[in-house]
Amino acid sequence: GAVVSQHPSWVICKSGTSVKIECRSLDFQATTMFWYRQFPKQSLMLMATSNEGSKATYEQGVEKDKFLINHASLTLSTLTVTSAHPEDSSFYICSARPPGQGLETQYFGPGTRLLVL
Amino acid sequence: GQNIDQPTEMTATEGAIVQINCTYQTSGFNGLFWYQQHAGEAPTFLSYNVLDGLEEKGRFSSFLSRSKGYSYLLLKELQMKDSASYLCASMDSNYQLIWGAGTKLIIKP
């Protein structure tokens, strides 16, 4: 099956620093990738939809200047949390939608756990 | 508004059967998903229903009633490794997933 990787899997950073998370589709080209955030014991919340070669579409309430998304190639999307604060500590998960398959198809990455001190 | 409801936690015995219910209200409907999520890991796909009825896949089955906005996930012959959270998600008219908070399933020996 299709594989999506994320790097890093764990990151601890100081408040005020920026953190970049990578999401890669390893064996397929993904024109669309999704970024989710999940707080403990809560549901996944879609943050933004990333389309290769164009600007990301952010969900209501998500600051686009704080969560920078770049989908520069068909296999890579990055999420940069700028000036991270403790309340940004969360589990960040990406998913990728391969072309040529139904729109219901998404493959999830393993997630990145961010802890901001 | 859009809403997904599922129980917060359920407990079952190893070898038994458990049914996890989910009700949904979304803007448009393009299918109902069930995912399994172990603690600290990303969700893994279990099932997708877009038509009414029961879909069976090994020990796991999923049922959908679109008229009632209702689905359930049925797990048979429970194993200890089935202890996890089970997430119900509805795909809306924009093909975006609307997620429930998940049902934590505890399996006891």
- Asked whether residue B52 carries a pLDDT value surpassing 80, the answer given is yes
Q: What are phi and psi of A87, to 5 degrees?
A: -70, -10
Residue B60: the pLDDT is 97
A interface test, pick of B9, B41, B62 with most A CB neighbours within 10 Å = B41
Q: What is the pLDDT of residues B54-72, one digit of tens each?
A: 999 999 999 999 999 999 9
Q: What percent of chain A has pLDDT over 90?
A: 69
Residue A1: the pLDDT is 64
- Please tell me if residue B86 touches chain A, with a CB cutoff of 8 Å: no
Q: What is the pLDDT of residues A61-101, one digit of tens each?
A: 999 999 999 988 889 999 999 999 999 999 999 999 887 77
CA of A60 to nearest chain B CA: how many angstroms apart?
A: 14
Q: What percent of chain A has pLDDT over 70?
A: 99
- Please tell me if residue B9 touches chain A, with a CB cutoff of 8 Å: no
Interior/surface letters A41-55, b for 16+ CB within 10 angstroms, e for the rest = eebbbbbbbbebeee
Q: Decide if A44 and B97 are in contact by the 8 Å CB cutoff.
A: yes
Interior/surface letters B17-36, b for 16+ CB within 10 angstroms, e for the rest = ebebebbbebeebbbbbbbb
Q: Decide if A43 and B33 are in contact by the 8 Å CB cutoff.
A: no
